[in-house]
Amino acid sequence: MKRVAVFIDGSNFYNGLRDNVGRMDVDFHQFGKTLAEKTGGELLRIYYYNAKVDPEFDPDNYEKQQRFITHLAHTQYLTLRLGKLVYYQVRGEDATRKHYAVEKGLDVKLAIDLVRLAVNRACEVAVIVSGDKDLAEVVEYGKEMGLEVVSAFFPRGLSEQLATKADRVIYFNEEMLNEIFIGNQQQDSE
């Protein structure tokens, strides 16, 4: 059976869930297994990429993120990769907030993990959960390294560049999403 690695662009996936479903309580282990099954393989590992909130700039979201990170830490077969947020000051008289944040280093971390797995022949299939066009080049490289690279995302939100570079696309639909939310899936023996 083909070994499948799942790469989740955390903030991109979160925003997709918020905008398309309005629900974010994902069972990430079940999500990874579901994606692996849809590609005809077996889950090797899930890599989840997110940027760490600075408690000084955003104490409320920092506390929420810490609870979420704890949840991820207890998820089977999941490796958390944290980048950083760089905070910029908002300028202008009508600015309603003082700072905005930009993620740094996450696309590179994802690319390094995908390339490392390809070079080591640790998996045959890479599923990228993101709609971000910036990942199109890593898709190309993964394919050149012999991986089957699958893009998985919401129909609304998946960049054309990413969709056309992937070997195939899995579009999230209501039936699939219902399987991955906490409390919705059938109990399995794992």
Sequential pLDDT tens for the chain (190 residues): 999 999 999 999 999 999 998 888 999 999 999 999 999 999 999 999 999 999 988 898 999 999 999 999 999 999 999 999 888 888 766 656 677 888 988 999 999 999 999 999 999 999 999 999 999 999 999 999 999 999 999 999 999 999 999 999 999 988 888 889 987 755 444 4
Structure tokens at 70: 């704890």
Task: Identify the pLDDT of residue 184.
Answer: 72
Q: Estimate to the nearest angstrom the gap between the alpha carbon of 5 and the chain centroid.
A: 11
Q: Which of 105, 129, 123 is nearest to 26 (CA)?
A: 129
Residue 185, in any domain of the structure? no
Task: Identify the pLDDT of residue 22.
Answer: 87
Residue 189, in any domain of the structure? no
Domain assignment of residue 30, given as a range: 2-180
Residue 190, in any domain of the structure? no
> pTM of this prediction?
0.90
3-state secondary structure 61-103: HHHHHHHHHHHHHCCCCEEEEEEEEEEEECCCCCCCCCEEEEE
Instruction: Compute CA distances 93 → 12, 64, 96, whole Å.
Output: 30, 30, 9
> How far apart are the C-alpha atoms of 2 and 43, rounded to whole Å?
9
Task: Identify the pLDDT of residue 91.
Answer: 78
> How far apart are the C-alpha atoms of 46 and 62, rounded to whole Å?
23
- DSSP at 132: -
Q: Which of 12, 37, 49, 68 is nearest to 185 (CA)?
A: 37
CATH number, domain containing residue 67 = 3.40.50.1010
Task: Identify the pLDDT of residue 175.
Answer: 85
Number of domains making up the chain: 1
> How far apart are the C-alpha atoms of 4 and 91, rounded to whole Å?
45
Residue 175, in any domain of the structure? yes
Task: Identify the pLDDT of residue 185.
Answer: 56
> How far apart are the C-alpha atoms of 86 and 64, rounded to whole Å?
19
